[in-house]
Amino acid sequence: MKTRWLIVAISLAVIAPVVEAQSTILTSKPALPDGYAGTAVCASCHADQYASYLATNHSRSLSLVDPNHKELAGRFDHHLSQTSFQATVNDTGIIHRASISVPMSPTTSVELPLGELPVKYVIGSGAFAKGYLLEDGEFLVQ
């Protein structure tokens, strides 16, 4: 039994720096161009075009996460890599967690956390698919 926990401790020591290194290889958010007026300003003069745009799926292609949409919560297990991804709803919003399953015996395993980040944006309207952008400090990751 001590050998199994030693394996878990060594695995954490090896995995943690890799996860930390991966979270630093990100692209920062681009700055908005000078003179950008925003949607509300444009819509005030171009109400018909704005209403037409809102009727399209494209208008919902990127949005802030609404924590009231419980359908975002769920779990996906990638069996080949033994990695699990889970989204849960709490009082601060939606949290994305990743973990890896480490076999301890032929019939048991231990799930080790790899990290968790808040879900910031939903990509896609849902007409075809959805993806999510996670917030890691000042960076966004998918």
Tracing tokens 């975002």 back to the chain, one arrives at: 72
Query: What tens-digit pLDDT sequence spans the chain (142 residues)?
Result: 555 554 544 555 545 444 444 444 444 556 667 888 788 888 899 999 999 988 988 888 888 887 676 667 788 899 899 999 998 888 778 888 999 999 899 899 899 999 999 988 888 877 777 888 998 988 988 8
pLDDT of residue 93: 82
> Which residues are CB-neighbours of 76 under 8 A, at least 6 positions away?
84, 85, 86
> What was the pLDDT predicted at 2?
52
> What's the DSSP call for residue 33?
P
* Residue 48, pLDDT score: 93
The letter for the amino acid at 123 is I
